[in-house]
Structures are given as C-alpha cells and as structure tokens.
Structure 1
Amino acid sequence: MTSLSEASLLALFLETLFYGVFFTFYWLTLTILLKKYGIQRDLLLPVATLLLCIATAHLVIDLVRALEAFVFSVDTIAADTYYSDLASPLELAKTALYITQPTVADSVLVWRCYVLNNRSLLVGIPGCIVLLTNAAIGYYVVWSLSRAAAGSTVYTTAPWLITTFYTLTMLISIICSTLISWRIWRNRRSMSNRSARFRRFYTISILALLLAFLTGSNGQYPAMDIGPPIVGIVFCLIILQVHFHVGSNPQSNSSPKPFTNLSEERREHNVGYSMKPMTREAEIIQFDVMRSQRLSGDDC
C-alpha cells in the first residue's frame, strides 16, 4: 500500500499537470469572453477567474506543504507524520479551498439549469437548497478537522459527513446536467450536447474519490488534489465548446441558406439583439427572455 507521503507527492505531480491544462484553457476562455457582452462576460469571466485563483492557491499550499515535509522539517518530523496532521492550518486551508471550488462551479450550473428550464422555481429552489446544504456540510467538515486530536484520521473524523459531501456533489452534477441536456434536446433534438460529457468527466473524478475514501485507500489524496483544476478545466471546456459550436448538428451546415434570406430571418427574429450567430443553448435562453418580455408587455 502506498504511504501517505508517497500519495501526497503523486497528488502534487498530478495537480501540477492538470493545473497547467487549466491555465492554458483559462487564457483561451479569457480571450473569448473579453469579446462578449452581457451575462456571458459579466458572470462567466469573474467565475472563471475565481476558479483559477482557487486552484492556484490550492497548488501553492500543496507546494509549501511538500517543502515543509521533505525539506524544511525533514530533520524534526517524518513526512508521513507531517501529512497526517489534520488540524494543520495549511491542511484546513487546502480543504476549505477544495470545498469552495465545486461550490462556485455548481452555483453556475444550478443557475444555468434554472434559466434553461424557463426559470422554474421547482428547479431553482431545490437546487439552491441542495447546493447550500452541501456547502454547509463541507465547511462543517473543515471545522471538525480543526478539532481533530493527534493521531486522528479522516476515517475517524466525520466520515459520514465527508461521504455525504461527495455524494451530494455528484448528485448536483448529474441531476443538473440531465435537466440541461433534456431541455436542449427537447428544443433541438438533433443536437449532441457535449457539455454533459464534460460534466460526466468531473462526476467520474468525484466517484473515484468517493470509492477511494470508502475503501480506505491513500489514492483519495491524488483524486482530491486534482479536483480544483479539473473543475476549472470542465468549466472552460463548456465555454469553449459553446463558442466553437463543437458537437452541433453537421446537417445544419450542409445546405446553407442564401445570405440575404439568413440576414432577413435574423433581423425578424433577433430584434434588439446581437446579430452574431448563436448556439442552440443561447437561442433557448433568448427565447425565454423574449417570451418573458412579451408577457410583461401584455400585462402592461
């Protein structure tokens, strides 16, 4: 069985690798979002930047912990003993950042699910309740770890709460992705929704972390440390997929309409909106906004 120090070194290597991928995708996403207007820029750009800051802080903490364990404190404390201190301030800060990262990303996912499903309170309210409950459980786990006695492990310190946090995180991702995919498929049945595939990648990483925790394997540490950059990678991939129309129906481009007719249709359909081509998901959002405006006009 891999020791705790070996698992932590492997976790640092994998986290650095995935962080490099996230950092590259972030700059591509930044270049795209700076050219956008409205909610795409006002919401997605700050969220992407916040996810990068959290992943950066998480990586810096892991680097400092590795230096402390293997360089600066190697003569006074063993590496395994250093990493097993659950109440260490750096360990608590790292865990808090890990909980914050999916909470921020899942907040956008719940909002996206709420908007695409006609701003239904039956979707928004339960989603917010589950999201806030999961965040509260996660931060309570941090508080429990801060009071852990010497020699305690994560398997003896709030194990059921940790399991619940991982489970709810997966459920939020699965349920919201399913609702979004169903909404898009119902309006454009020929469209392949690859953003759901990206979310499945994140869900699988959480499932691997949950299984490693339940089996008592130190493999949970690499699975946990790659979590923050993977959240950012998935977030950026969804934005890039929407921008570059990856996964759209190729038949829609097989018989293009004349430019004049296409322009006339857009002018009739998109009065007061940008003339740029929209993704099908953006069309759904715009349709809901236009419908709500018409309803408000009728009420007046």
Structure 2
Amino acid sequence: MVQYISADKAGLLSTVLEALLYGFSVLMFIATLWILVRGRPWSQVNHRMFVIACLLFALSTIHLGVDINRLVSGFIRFRDITPGGPPAWFANPSDPSFVFKSIVYGFQTALGDGVVIYRCYMVWNSIWVIIFPIILWFGVVGKSATATGGVYACTSPSTDSTGIFAQQVGKWITAFYSTTLACNLTATALLAYRLWTIDRNVRRTRVGRGVTIPILLVVVDAGALYSMTLLSALIGFALGSNGQYVVLDMVTPIISIAFYMVILRIGIAQHSPSRDNTNASTLPRVPFSRPETSGRFGKPMHVHIQVEQVTESRRSAEKGVDEVNLPMQRYQSE
C-alpha cells in the first residue's frame, strides 16, 4: 500500500497542528465560560453546557498530552531500540499510548455528537425527530462496538504488520468514521431545517432583520467544520495514506472549537447593545392619532398611541428561536 507520508512525519505534523488548534480552543473555552456565567448567579447558569465545555476541554488536553508523550517516546525514548526506528514505532497501533488516545477520541466524538442531538431535540421538542440520530449515536458508543472494537482490534495478537490499515482494524475504523459522520450530518441538517422553518414563519410579521438566520448560519458552519474534517480523515484512510493521522489528531480540538463557536456567537449577539433595538424594531407598530384642542390657543393637539401587535404564530416561532438559544438559557426542566 502506498504511503504518501511516513508515520513518524505524520505524527510530528499532526501534533504540531493539533497544538495550534488547541491554543485557539483554550481561548474560546475561556470566552465560553465567561459567556455562560456572565451576569448570572450560579443557580441560573446552564450547568449542562458548562460541564460539557469543561469535559471537552479536559479531553482535548489529555489527547494533546498523549500525543506530546508519543513524540518523546518515538523520537527519543524508543528511537534506537525499536526495529525500524521511529517510522515503525509510530505505525504500531498496538502501543498503549495509541490505544489510550483512541479511547479519548472516541469519548470526545460521542460527547460532541450528543450535544448536536440534544440541541436538535430542544429545538424540535420531539423525541421522534431524533430517533435516527440517536440510533447512529448508539452505533458510535453502544454495544455495536464501532469504536471499542477498533481499539480491541489494535491490541489483538492477530493484527498483522500492515498496521492500522490491516483488514481487521480497518473495518472498525471505517464503521466509526462513517457512523459519526452520518450522525453529525443528520442532526445538523434537522436542526438547520427547523431554524429555517422558524424564520420562514415569522418573516411575514417581522420588520427588520431577525435573529434566526444568524443562528442558523453559525450552526451550519460548526457542523460543516467538523464534518469536512472527519470526511477528510475518512478519505485519507480509504486511500491508505498516513495523512489521515494528521487530520484525525486535528479532529479532537475541532470538536471543542465547533461547540464553543455556537455558544460564543449567540452570546455575543445577546450581549450586543443593538440587540434590544433590533428586537424592538421587529415588532410592527400601528399608530393612532386623535385630535384634541388645547384650551388657550385652540390649536389641535395630536395624541399618538402606538399599539404593538404580535401574532400567536410569531410568539410560537420566537419561542422556537429561544429553544435554539439553549446554551444561554436555563430551562425549567434542568
């Protein structure tokens, strides 16, 4: 099988790129916590999103730490005692460090996909809509063993010298990539469609620019960022290139970045000074005037009364927009 880049070079390049993305994710993590807790007592903070943000940060930190340790082990510690040198050591999928980082990646992938499904459920407010994404999610983390089977196959004595591209290991990796990609795409598509229908329903009664489309765009961008990265890893694996190691290590911080960017974008929109003015301008006002006379000069005086009219469909749609804003809201069910 043709390798377009050696395993040791792929390991070094992947760790460098992962570290760069991790640096961005650290800044976004700090900003996310600030958005979640700003101006709120602890009892009103969205504890679910707070805990998930911390878990994603912890998992990405552990993954990067393992990769740095692998660089030290491959290029320094086991450089002269491993037959074939660093390229052979990095190409060995049965090494405990590779198995551990695969488990961390599996947990983070399951957590990221679960967040997208949760957002989809909160927007649709129906369990039936997310049945298929849930089935796919269980395909990633459940007893179907798409992820755990790949880790087990890496440590199996029957794994041959072709490394991670061996037939036994390959079938698990292909199943894992395909399942998590389908899960993310399905949940993101359902969420985007719901946001689009909400905006379509309020378009007739709205004056000015609404908030639904900006939320829709950031949700789609986050889903596309993760999906395209995962698709690149799947293509690299299918081509038998060690370049898939590079993309795969980049997926871990990208999962965190995609989660943070949704909360940050909505949080910035909420705390924008022009938000209240924008919302006020979206409400149609009907002026009424009634002539009155002032006793001294006898000139007519007009009294203007503005009546805000909000239809029931608009209230329902705006409620749906608030459901999208789940990272910033504290639900009664929590």
Same fold (TM over 0.5): yes
User: Larger deviation: 28-37 or 5-14?
Assistant: 28-37
Please state how far the C-alpha of 1:257 moved relative to its aligned partner.
Answer: 7.5
Alignment of 1:157-196 (within 5 A): 157-189=168-200, 191-192=212-213, 193=216, 194-196=218-220
AA aligned to 1:244 is I
SS of residue in 1 equivalent to 2:245: helix
Paired residue total: 271
1:253 aligns to 2:260 (yes or no): no
Measured on the aligned residues, the alpha-carbon RMSD in Å equals: 3.1
Tell me which structure has the larger Cα radius of gyration: 2
TM-score when scaled to structure 1?
A: 0.81
The aligned residue for residue 152 of structure 2 is 143
1:22 aligns to 2:25 (yes or no): yes
Cα distance 1:51–1:5, how it changes in 2: closer, same or farther (>3 A)? same
**Structure 2: how far apart are the matches of 1:95 and 1:257?**
49
Please state how far the C-alpha of 1:97 moved relative to its aligned partner.
Answer: 0.8
**Structure 2: how far apart are the matches of 1:72 and 1:82?**
11
Please state how far the C-alpha of 1:158 moved relative to its aligned partner.
Answer: 2.8
Please state how far the C-alpha of 1:111 moved relative to its aligned partner.
Answer: 1.3
Please state how far the C-alpha of 1:256 moved relative to its aligned partner.
Answer: 3.1
**Structure 2: how far apart are the matches of 1:44 and 1:279?**
20
Cα distance 1:222–1:81, how it changes in 2: closer, same or farther (>3 A)? same
TM-score when scaled to structure 2?
A: 0.73
**Structure 2: how far apart are the matches of 1:110 and 1:121?**
10
Higher helix share: 1
Alignment of 1:254-293 (within 5 A): 256=281, 281-282=321-322
Please state how far the C-alpha of 1:126 moved relative to its aligned partner.
Answer: 2.9
User: Larger deviation: 152-161 or 235-244?
Assistant: 152-161
Please state how far the C-alpha of 1:188 moved relative to its aligned partner.
Answer: 1.8
Alignment of 1:213-224 (within 5 A): 213-224=237-248
The aligned residue for residue 165 of structure 2 is 155
Cα distance 1:217–1:239, how it changes in 2: closer, same or farther (>3 A)? same
The aligned residue for residue 231 of structure 2 is 207
Alignment check: 8 A CA contact 1:25 1:237 kept: yes
Alignment of 1:32-43 (within 5 A): 32-35=35-38, 36=40, 41-43=46-48
**Structure 2: how far apart are the matches of 1:38 and 1:132?**
32
AA aligned to 2:58 is C
Alignment check: 8 A CA contact 1:5 1:79 kept: yes
What CA deviation, in whole Å up to 9, does each residue of 1:201-242 have, x standing for no partner?
110000100000000111101100011100000000011111
What CA deviation, in whole Å up to 9, does each residue of 1:25-78 have, x standing for no partner?
000001111235678621111101101111111111111110011112222121
**Structure 1: how far apart are the matches of 2:147 and 2:15?**
22
The aligned residue for residue 109 of structure 1 is 116
Alignment check: 8 A CA contact 2:56 2:108 kept: yes
Please state how far the C-alpha of 1:186 moved relative to its aligned partner.
Answer: 1.1
**Structure 2: how far apart are the matches of 1:52 and 1:19?**
9
1:86 aligns to 2:93 (yes or no): yes
Cα distance 1:254–1:75, how it changes in 2: closer, same or farther (>3 A)? same
Please state how far the C-alpha of 1:253 moved relative to its aligned partner.
Answer: 2.4
Which consecutive aligned stretches of 4+ in structure 1 deviate over 6 angstroms post-superposition? none
User: Larger deviation: 24-33 or 155-164?
Assistant: 155-164
Alignment check: 8 A CA contact 2:146 2:176 kept: yes
SS of residue in 2 equivalent to 1:123: coil
**Structure 1: how far apart are the matches of 2:111 and 2:151?**
17
SS of residue in 2 equivalent to 1:154: helix
SS of residue in 2 equivalent to 1:75: coil
Alignment check: 8 A CA contact 1:245 1:279 kept: no
What CA deviation, in whole Å up to 9, does each residue of 1:172-209 have, x standing for no partner?
11111111111111112363212111210110000100
Which structure 2 segments of 5+ residues have no match?
Answer: 201-209, 284-306, 313-317
1:10 aligns to 2:13 (yes or no): yes
Higher strand share: 2
**Structure 1: how far apart are the matches of 2:14 and 2:225?**
18
